[in-house]
Amino acid sequence: MATWRDVAAYIRANYKITDEDDSNITLVFGIDGTRTQIVVLSQALLMDGAEEWVQISSPIARVNQINVNAVLRAIAPMVVGGLAIYGDFLAIRDALPLANLQINELERPMRLITLTADALEKQFVGADVM
């Protein structure tokens, strides 16, 4: 894969998309048959558009529903992803450069972000709220 267009085409061919615009694709994954997890892939441009990246993010909870300090401590050993605030929501997020991206370099982080977000939501919120 080399461009956002390639990522979008791959996702369209292999996943059920719930929402899409020019620079964002939203997916909802089933977890254990009882829970779901939203994942958003977003195009990110760096260096005045010279570099294309993909951001993978998955919301955990509303910021006011969760102990952010406790979540930060819980994710400290994580290899993939970090914590970010999007408006009123706390999310796990990672970003990958697209120039030389291989499919496994997208699939594995996307899965890790999805499962981590779901586990944190379950641990700190106690319910499937997203």
Of 36, 35, 17, nearest in space to 27 by CA: 17
Model's pTM, two decimal places?
Answer: 0.90
- Which one-letter DSSP state was computed for residue 65? G
Q: What CATH number has the domain bearing residue 77? A: 3.30.1460.10
Residue 54 pLDDT:
96
Please write the tens of the pLDDT for every residue from 35-90. Answer: 999 999 999 998 887 889 999 999 999 999 999 999 999 999 888 889 999 999 99
Residue 81 located in a structural domain: yes
Q: State the residue range of the domain holding 16.
A: 4-124
| Torsion sign across C-alpha atoms 106, 35, 119, 70 | positive
In the chain, the number of structural domains is: 1
Q: Is pLDDT at 96 greater than 80 in this prediction?
A: yes
For the packed helices 103-124 and 68-75, what is the interaxial angle rounded to 10 degrees? 140
Mean pLDDT of 4-8: 92
